[in-house]
Amino acid sequence: MKNEAQIRSNQAKSFWFEYQNSSLIFSIYPEVREIEIKLKFNYDESQRVESIKKLTSTDHAFFMIECINRNCIHGGFDLSTDIVNLINRKGNQFANHKICNGYQDYKRFIAKNYHCLCKLDLTIEIIYNEN
Model pTM score: 0.89
pLDDT at 1: 47
Q: Average the pLDDT over 35-42 and give the result.
A: 97
Confidence band, pLDDT 50/70/90 cuts, at residue 131:
low
Nearest Cα to Cα of residue 99 among 81, 118, 71, 124:
118
How confident is the model over 54-85, as pLDDT tens digits? Answer: 999 999 999 999 999 999 999 999 999 999 99
CA torsion, ordered 61, 54, 77, 13, to nearest 10 deg? 60
Domain residue limits, the chain: 4-128
